[in-house]
């Protein structure tokens, strides 16, 4: 007979979402069981955010050497060791691993079971020989790379984010299917590390972002030698390891044939719902993920779902945000509500592309003529000039009363600037607030204040205000 555990909370999945719930609950002295069948740290640590940003950092270093002559610095001949770049990726993962390790969480008082989990009823979960009857369950099993049903794809060797970072040699020609953030980040990283790269996108590359600002990023990528084919539908894949052929239809219906050494599939994510016994648990789900209400509860009120497996916005920071909401709900019985409108995102290409809040189209749909779009160019920022990073633009979407509705940034450190704007949006700040703060000089953050000031550009022209000033002058 196996063991039977009756914790207050059972968390399924040791990725960002699950670990956040487990750590927070344990900090309050709550009995927690954490079940994970794969690697601790989940996709973000092992196959996603961490290795991709580490590889981008290596690629940025290579690009920095190439542009050093602009600053009067000659480094000499450049050589790129792709295996050493991969070693850097591995070292970063290794440095972070202890924070997400089984040993750390057991030290926090969490019972960790390294088993596959499957519900046997609405109230019971089986993990190996252990039966778990928790007061509340939290499903945080994440997502995996979605592989589209392209004819021939199952007959060739292809990469996803789960295998890409195992490469030890530079691909001679990397073909990437998918022009979203993952595809384009990895396109630039591999191009800067010596590979020829072609990106095939069925619709618009970076289609979820402001298209004017996305164009700034795409122009830079193309300028670095990356071929980006938009409106191009992949029809068939064939070949063998090291010699892949992709047949596609171009934007005008013309036949397109691509030949490359490696193929990366970056066409989105699929929620990890298989094998969990969700039907037995009475949990509703579909191809997009587990269905949850605004408080992140499933159709079984004992069970929550958070992170990628719950569909919606698939970001590590969203998983952490949702984990905090679930902790408030389970431990303190507080009403919680997921608010997608305050969630920021960043594509970590060079230049970066960041967004938070409403885009211009949605803002105008809701508020009509009351919307003002304010902008500031990097070329007008002194720090950008000093750093040689003058390609970029910041946009603020101002609504009634000057309230900040959304923001987009394309340029150096766009992610850091979006941090400030994400806070401003979540606190319902207006242009007067963004004008009123003091930005240290010279920083890129001054772009925010410069754009906000333009909201008041017509104020000095108002006749009544000029009359008031004239009247006040008469008093000495």
Q: How confident is the model over 201-226, as a mean pLDDT?
A: 98
Q: How confident is the model over 98-103, as a mean pLDDT?
A: 98
Q: How confident is the model over 159-166, as a mean pLDDT?
A: 97
Name the CATH architecture for the domain at 351-460: 2-Layer Sandwich (3.30)
Place of tokens 């602009």: 70
DSSP code of 341?
G
Query: Residue 234: what pLDDT?
Result: 98
| Percentage above 90 pLDDT, the chain | 91
Q: How confident is the model over 393-405, as a mean pLDDT?
A: 98
Residue 368 has which token pair? 């009509």
Q: Does residue 32 register a pLDDT over 80? A: yes
Residue 344 has which token pair? 């920021």
| Start-end of CATH 3.30.390.30 domains in the chain | 351-460
| Start-end of CATH 3.50.50.60 domains in the chain | 4-145+270-340, 153-268
Q: Does residue 458 register a pLDDT over 90? A: no
* CA-closest candidate to residue 318, choices 281, 292, 279, 299: 292
**Hey, what CATH topology would domain 153-268 get?**
FAD/NAD(P)-binding domain (3.50.50)
DSSP code of 288?
T
Q: Does residue 476 register a pLDDT over 90? A: no
Q: How confident is the model over 170-175, as a mean pLDDT?
A: 98
Tens digit of pLDDT for each residue in 302-349? 999 999 999 999 999 999 999 999 999 999 999 999 999 999 999 999
Query: Residue 302: what pLDDT?
Result: 98
- Asked if 197 and 174 count as a contact pair (C-beta separation under 8 A), the reply is yes
| Percentage above 70 pLDDT, the chain | 99
CA distance readout (Å), 128 to 4, 36, 90, 114, 125:
11, 11, 31, 9, 10
Tens digit of pLDDT for each residue in 355-381? 999 999 999 999 999 999 999 999 999
pLDDT band with cut points at 50, 70 and 90 for residue 36: very high
- Asked if 310 and 292 count as a contact pair (C-beta separation under 8 A), the reply is yes
Tens digit of pLDDT for each residue in 241-284? 899 999 999 999 999 999 999 999 999 999 999 999 999 999 99
pLDDT band with cut points at 50, 70 and 90 for residue 167: very high
Query: Residue 1: what pLDDT?
Result: 56
Residue 131, classed as helix, strand or coil, is strand
Q: Which residues are within 8 A (CB) of 412 and not within 5 positions of it... i.e. 6 or more apart? A: 350, 351, 352, 378, 384, 387, 389, 392, 444
Query: Residue 16: what pLDDT?
Result: 96
Q: What is the pTM of this model?
A: 0.94
Calculate the average pLDDT of the chain. 96
The CATH H-level (homologous superfamily) assignment of domain 4-145+270-340 is FAD/NAD(P)-binding domain (3.50.50.60)
Q: How confident is the model over 444-449, as a mean pLDDT?
A: 96
Q: Half-sphere exposure of residue 123, counting CA atoms within 13 Å on the CB side? A: 5
More confident residue, 139 or 74: 139
pLDDT band with cut points at 50, 70 and 90 for residue 34: very high
pLDDT band with cut points at 50, 70 and 90 for residue 435: very high
How far apart CA 276 and CA 309 sit, in angstroms, is: 11
Query: Residue 457: what pLDDT?
Result: 87
């Amino acid at each position: 007979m196996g063991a039977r555990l009756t914790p207050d909370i059972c968390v399924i999945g040791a990725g960002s979402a699950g670990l956040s719930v487990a750590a927070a609950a344990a900090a309050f002295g709550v009995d927690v069981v954490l079940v994970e069948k794969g690697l601790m740290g989940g996709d973000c640590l092992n196959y996603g955010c961490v290795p991709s940003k580490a590889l981008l950092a290596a690629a940025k270093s290579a690009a920095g050497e190439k542009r050093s002559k602009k600053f009067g610095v000659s480094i000499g001949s450049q050589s790129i060791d792709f295996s050493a770049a991969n070693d850097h990726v591995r070292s970063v993962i290794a440095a972070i691993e202890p924070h997400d390790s089984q040993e750390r969480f057991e030290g926090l008082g969490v019972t960790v079971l390294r088993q596959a989990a499957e519900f046997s009823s609405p109230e019971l979960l089986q993990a190996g020989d252990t039966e778990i009857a928790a007061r509340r369950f939290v499903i945080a099993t994440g997502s995996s790379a979605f592989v589209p049903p392209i004819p021939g794809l199952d007959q060739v060797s292809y990469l996803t984010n789960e295998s890409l970072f195992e490469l030890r040699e530079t691909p001679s020609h990397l073909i990437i299917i998918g022009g979203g953030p993952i595809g384009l980040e990895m396109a630039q990283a591999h191009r800067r590390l010596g590979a020829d790269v072609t990106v095939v996108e069925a619709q618009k590359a970076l289609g979820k972002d402001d298209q004017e600002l996305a164009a700034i990023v795409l122009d830079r990528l193309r300028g670095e030698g990356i071929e980006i084919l938009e409106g191009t539908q992949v029809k068939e894949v064939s070949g063998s390891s090291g010699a892949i052929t992709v047949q596609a239809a171009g934007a005008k219906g013309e036949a397109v044939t691509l030949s490359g050494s490696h193929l990366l599939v970056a066409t989105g994510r699929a929620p990890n719902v298989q094998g969990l016994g969700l039907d037995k648990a009475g949990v509703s789900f579909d191809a997009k993920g587990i269905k949850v209400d605004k408080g992140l509860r499933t159709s079984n009120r004992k069970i929550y779902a958070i992170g990628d497996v719950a569909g919606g916005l698939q970001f590590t920071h969203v998983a952490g945000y949702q984990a905090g909401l679930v902790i408030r709900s389970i431990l303190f019985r507080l009403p919680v509500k997921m608010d997608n409108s305050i969630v920021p995102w960043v594509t970590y290409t060079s230049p970066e592309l960041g967004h938070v809040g409403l885009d211009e189209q949605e803002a105008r749909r809701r508020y009509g003529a009351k919307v003002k779009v304010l902008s500031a160019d990097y070329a007008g920022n002194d720090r950008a000039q000093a750093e040689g990073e003058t390609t970029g633009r910041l946009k603020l979407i101002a609504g009634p009363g000057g309230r900040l509705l959304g923001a987009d940034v394309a340029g150096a450190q766009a992610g850091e600037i979006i941090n400030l704007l994400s806070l401003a949006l979540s606190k319902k700040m207006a242009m007067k607030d963004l004008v009123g703060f003091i930005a240290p000089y010279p920083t890129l953050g001054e772009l925010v204040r410069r754009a906000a000031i333009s909201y008041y550009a017509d104020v000095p022209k108002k006749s009544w205000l000029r009359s008031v000033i004239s009247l006040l002058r008469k008093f000495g």
